[in-house]
Amino acid sequence: MAKYKAVVVNTGYETYDLEREILKPADAQVVVVTEDSMTEDDVINAARDADAIFVREAPITARVLKSFERCKIVARYGVGLDNIDLETARQLKIYVSNVPEYGTEDVSDHAVALLMGCVRSLLVRDQNLRNGNFEFDICDEIFRTTDKTLGLLGYGKIGQAFHRKWQGFLPNKVLVYDPYVDTEFINANGAEKVELDKLLHESDFISIHAPLTPETKHIINTAALKKMKNTAILVNTARGALIDTYALAKALQEGEILRAGLDVFEKEPIPGDHPLVSMSSVILTSHVAWYSRESTEDLQGGAAKEILRVLSGKPPVNWVNPW
Cα–Cα separations (whole angstroms), residue 253 to 128, 139, 241, 279, 280: 20, 19, 20, 9, 10
Return phi, psi of residue 153, to 5°: -95, 95
Contact 121, 177 (CB under 8 A): no
Long-range own/partner contacts, residues 131-138 (CB < 8 A, 24 or more apart)? none
Cα–Cα separations (whole angstroms), residue 205 to 119, 145, 233, 262: 9, 9, 5, 13
d(CA 112, CA 124): 18
| Residues sharing a CB contact under 8 Å with residue 29, sequence separation 6 or more, in sequence order | 2, 4, 5, 6
| Residues sharing a CB contact under 8 Å with residue 303, sequence separation 6 or more, in sequence order | 19, 54, 75, 76, 77, 97, 99
Strands across the sheet containing 28-32 = 28-32, 4-8, 52-55, 73-76, 95-97
Catalytically annotated residues: 239, 268, 287
| Residues sharing a CB contact under 8 Å with residue 225, sequence separation 6 or more, in sequence order | 247, 248, 251, 256, 257
Cα–Cα separations (whole angstroms), residue 323 to 59, 73, 91, 95: 22, 14, 8, 9
Strands across the sheet containing 282-284 = 192-193, 173-177, 149-153, 205-208, 233-236, 259-262, 282-284
Q: Residue 4 pairs with which residues in a beta bridge?
A: 28
